[in-house]
Amino acid sequence: MQSALKPTLLAIAYSLVVPLAPHQPAITQDSASGQRPDDRSFYSGKPVPHPEELSGVWEAPDGKGGAVGLHLTLVTTAPANATTLVGVSQEWDHLEVGIYHRVGAVFEIGEENGFSDSVRGGGVRYESGKLTLHSGSSDLELQRVDGGNWSGRVHYKDFDSQVRLSRPESQSKSKDTWLVGTWREKSDSASFTCLHIVETSPGEFAGWSDYLLTWGNVRFASNARKPKQAFENYGNLVRVRPDEQERASIVLGWYGGICCPRPFVGTPENDGAMMRAEWPAGPNQAHHTSHWTKMRGNSCTVESE
């Protein structure tokens, strides 16, 4: 989170209002117990050893210069006393599935339709590596295959075909490849952002971010109501645009994510192992500078081997 609250302020904020997880759809309360039964995920409480392997974006060319794809946003919970997410068991809260068909080199707002793994969310199922959905003009019958890719049928509006979906990767690389990879925000707060950037075609990039929180790093007042768990949010779409000066304009929340668009300009440092981020002043943030570290693997929560 860019304008991150200090741990003590986070504790105060929680004692006033219990926050919903970012991206979590608004739910109707039918009792003090919380969600309506038909809004609850079919898989609530299921262990999730590596959330980043499921969340994010997969695509297949449509044969017309565009691509059909999946955008998966996974929300998990972690123990409230956790001080790190590395090696910590997380549990499934819910999965949001976006199906899209982009006509150009870059995903645009309006090209996606969303569902979730609940009765009211469209009935998405994910069992034994198989993702299925049958709702109106959208159908998925996909199986996880080698390398975490997907193989099977995607039907979305006028597109209906057997495909193989993979992480977007350009066959020809541009000069801005320092951007590509997984980045962890340096933060002294209980929350931080993890950023995944891919090159979809030469000079064109896409990305998604994870908003991560550990309540165990927060000092609570003695009379504060402490949370029972922390919500972790994986796979929020990000807009990425490089410029001619080896910088990149990156906007978190651009596609209607956590709250409001939060832009910064990234510049490579230390031969691309670090990124300096300049956050301009705006309605949702004060001007400040932050630093990001490129991870060795694709995760900010699992140790790379």
Partners of residue 47 on adjacent β-strands: 91
Tens of pLDDT, residues 238-250: 999 998 888 999 9
| pLDDT range class, residue 25, cuts 50, 70, 90 | very low
Q: What is the mean pLDDT of the chain?
A: 85
129 vs 305, which has greater pLDDT?
A: 129
Question: Which pLDDT score, from 0 to 100, does residue 249 have?
Answer: 96
Lowest mean pLDDT among 12-26, 82-96, 186-200: 12-26
| pLDDT range class, residue 156, cuts 50, 70, 90 | very high
Average pLDDT over residues 153-158: 96
Q: Mean pLDDT highest for which of 16-20, 86-90, 193-197?
A: 193-197
Lowest mean pLDDT among 112-126, 140-154, 221-235, 275-289: 275-289
Sorted by where each begins, the domain ranges of the chain are 1-29+43-55+72-110+167-305
pLDDT at 16 over 50: no
